[in-house]
Amino acid sequence: MIGIVDYSVGNIFSLRSSFAKLGYETILANDKKTLHECDRILLPGVGAFSDARKKLYESGAEEALLSEIKDGKPMLGICLGMQLLFDKSYEFGEYDGLSLVHGSVKPISDVIPSDFKIPHIGWNALDFCENPLFKYIKKGDFVYFVHSFYGTECEKNTIATTEYGATLTAAVQNENVYGVQFHPEKSGDVGLSILRAFCEMKG
């Protein structure tokens, strides 16, 4: 069973549909009991960092999530869900993250050429190191991005990058905690292959 953290932020329908295609059951959860009963946890997210961080705390999901991660359960953050894993975000202010991955979240406008469109929307190739999350795909496979901010100062935890006028962090890992900046649920067979690999991880 895949527990999708439910804190009113995220593209839940597409995610559940993707896991259903792979033959995995999902459940929406924000409490310790339900998340404890799940084999793996997914942290979705779209929108503003500060709003998502506040909702994650107020829903009670943050405490439950951190408890399960501490016990070694595999967890995957997607898009804003990945950004929440970092120490800090500088999205329209300065906000504390979950500090599960060392580094910070900053505007891509800091590093890409001025003639590149923001947000970065579209398909880009992945470059990655050997990692269980990518065991069913190959370097250069394309995935779908929608973002204006990116994870940085996280070199030791970076497991994949992409090029968009600059080298941008595409995926991170810290032990049992994974994060992807792109949307696997919108990335066709490549995205499904990444979700499949995550579903096969052991806690």
Q: What is the DSSP annotation of 124-184?
A: EE-EE-S-GGGTTS-TT-EEEEEESEEEES-GGGEEEEEESSSEEEEEEEETTEEEESS-G
> What does DSSP assign to residue 86?
E
Token pair belonging to 86: 């970092």
As a whole number, mean pLDDT of residues 42-47 equals 90
Q: What is the model's pLDDT at position 73?
A: 97
**What domains sit in the chain, N to C, each tagged with a CATH number?**
2-199 (3.40.50.880)
pLDDT, one tens digit per residue, over 101-146 is 999 999 999 999 999 999 999 999 999 999 999 999 999 999 999 9
pTM of the full structure: 0.96
Which is it for the CA torsion 135, 191, 52, 58, positive or negative? Answer: negative
Q: What is the model's pLDDT at position 96?
A: 97
Q: List the catalytic residue out of 62, 68, 154, 183.
A: 183
Q: List the catalytic residue out of 62, 68, 91, 185.
A: 185
Coil, helix or strand for 24?
A: coil
Average pLDDT of the chain? 95
Q: Is 185 a catalytic residue?
A: yes
Token pair belonging to 80: 């804003």
pLDDT, one tens digit per residue, over 155-172 is 999 999 999 999 999 999
CA nearest to 124, candidates 139, 143, 104? 143
* Type and span of the H or E element at 41: strand 40-43
Long-range Cβ pairs for the range 114-118 (8 Å, 24+): 116/164, 116/165, 118/148
Q: Is the pLDDT of residue 10 over 90?
A: no
pLDDT, one tens digit per residue, over 52-62 is 999 999 988 89
pLDDT, one tens digit per residue, over 80-102 is 999 999 999 999 999 999 999 99
Token pair belonging to 64: 């439950």
> Which residue(s) pair with 161 in the sheet?
127, 169
Q: List the catalytic residue out of 79, 91, 147, 154.
A: 79
Q: What is the spatial distance between Cα 41 and Cα 157, in angstroms, rounded to a whole number?
A: 19
Residue 126, CB half-sphere, CA atoms under 13 Å: how many? 29
Q: What is the model's pLDDT at position 41?
A: 97
Q: What is the model's pLDDT at position 47?
A: 85
